[in-house]
Structure 1
C-alpha cells in the first residue's frame, strides 16, 4: 500500500497581514470615533479641524525628530522615507489656518497628545520595532483614510483642492500611492524580527491606535470657539 502524500507545510502569515489583523479592532474604534464622525459630518466646524491639525503637529515632530538617528537602524531604517515626512506640510497648513499668526509660540499639546508624543519618543529612543509600529499606523493611515479627510475638508470648508489647509494629506513626492503602500508592506514582511518580537510590534500598533482614540476624546471635549 502506497504512503499517503505528506500534508503541505502551513504557510506563515505575512507580517503585514498579522499587524493589520491584530490591530483591526483598535483601528476601527479610532476611525469611527465620535470626534471624527462629527468632524467629517460637518457638526464641529473648521475650528475643530484646526485643533486636530495642531495636535498632529506634536505627533509628527516626535516621529520625524527621530528619523535621522534611526535611518541606519536595521529594523526602523527601511521605513525612514523622506517623501512621507509631514512636518513641513503641517507647518504650512497651520500658517494658513491661523491666518499667518505666530502659532508656534502659543500652541500647546492636549494631555492625550502629550502622552502620544511621549510614547513615540520613548520607543524611538529604546525600541526601533515600536517606532515602526507608530510609523505604520500614522503614515499608511495618511495615505489611505487621510484622503477621505482631505476631500471632506475641501468640500465642507472651501479649502483649495490639495492646497493650503490640507497639504498634510497631499504626498507630492509619491507618484503612485498604491505601489508605495505595496512596497511598504513588503518591507514589513521582511522586517528582521522573530515571532515574539513581531507579536510585540503588533501589540504596539494596538497601543498606537488607542493613543489616537484618546486624542480624539480630548479633542471632543475641547472648546472650538477660539
Structure 2
C-alpha cells in the first residue's frame, strides 16, 4: 500500500485540533482587540518557558539525520522573546514571571520526549509552522491593538526567512523525505495532537489567571 505524504496525513489528522486551539476564548479575545496589553504580555511570558525547552531539545537533536533539514537556525525564537519581554516588562522581568500549570506540563512533556527524534520533531513542527502561518497575522494584530512597533512583537518577525510560504513547503518536503514506518508516523501525529492540546490548555489557564487576578 502506498502511503500518502506524511505532511498531508499530518494536516488531515490534526486540522480539527488546530481549529480548537485557535478558537480558545483567551486567544479569540486577544485577536479581536478585547484583551489587554497585559494579556498579550502574559502570552509572551508563556512562550519564554515553552521555547526555552523546545530550542534546548531541538539543539540536542540538530545532528540527527531526520532532524537536520528541519531544525533551521532561522527559526530560533528565544532572542526575540527576550527582546519582547525587555520592551514589555522592563528590567528584572525574569524575577517576575512564572508559567501557568499547562505550560509546566507542556515543558515536562517536551523533556519526556527529548530522546525521541519523532517527538521532538512533532513539537517543533507544531510551534514553528504555526508561527510562520497564523502567527504572522497575530503579530500584526497585536501591533494594531496595542500601538506596538517592531519592538514587542519581534517573536513574530522572521527577518531571515524571505518567503514563509516557500520555507513551509521546504519544511514539509523534508518531513515527507523521512523514512518512518506507518507505526512511527502514527506516533508522531499523536504527539502533534498532544502539543495542540497543551496549547489549548495554555489559553484556558491564561483565562483562569486573568479571572483570578481580576477577582483579587
- 1:167-178 aligned at under 5 Å gives the runs 167-178=154-165
In structure 2, the residue matched to 1:103 is: 93
Query: 1:7 maps to which residue?
Result: none
Matched, 1:53 2:44: yes
Counterpart pick for 1:122 among 112, 127, 138 = 112
Number of residues paired by the alignment? 213
Residue aligned with 2:148, SS: coil
Aligned to 1:185: 172
Q: Does 1:136 align with 2:125?
A: yes
Do the aligned partners of 2:57 and 2:120 also contact (CA within 8 Å) in 1? no
1:145-197 superposed Cα distances (whole Å, 9 cap, x missing partner): 0011111111100011xx11000000011011111011000011011311100
Separation (CA, whole Å) in 2 of partners of 1:77 and 1:182: 16
Cα distance in 2 for partners of 1:136, 1:153 equals 23
> Does residue 204 of structure 2 align to residue 217 of structure 1?
yes
The answer to whether the aligner puts 1:35 opposite 2:29 as a matched pair is no
| Structure 2: segments with no counterpart, 5+ residues | none
SS at match of 1:105: helix
Aligned mates of 2:201, 2:58 — CA distance in 1: 25
> Which of the pair is proportionally richer in helix?
2
1:157 to 141, 146, 153: 146
Q: TM-score, normalised by structure 2?
A: 0.94
Please tell me whether Structure 1 or Structure 2 has the larger radius of gyration of its CA atoms: 1
Corresponding position of 2:182: 195
Structure 1 residue ranges, 4+ long, deviating more than 6 angstroms after superposition: none
Using the alignment, how far apart are the partners of 1:213 and 1:146 within structure 2? 15
Shift of 1:11: 4.9
- TM-score with structure 1 setting the length: 0.90
Q: 39, 60, 69: which one pairs with 1:78?
A: 69
CA displacement at 1:68 relative to structure 2 = 2.7
**Structure 1 residues without counterparts, runs of 5 or longer:** 1-9
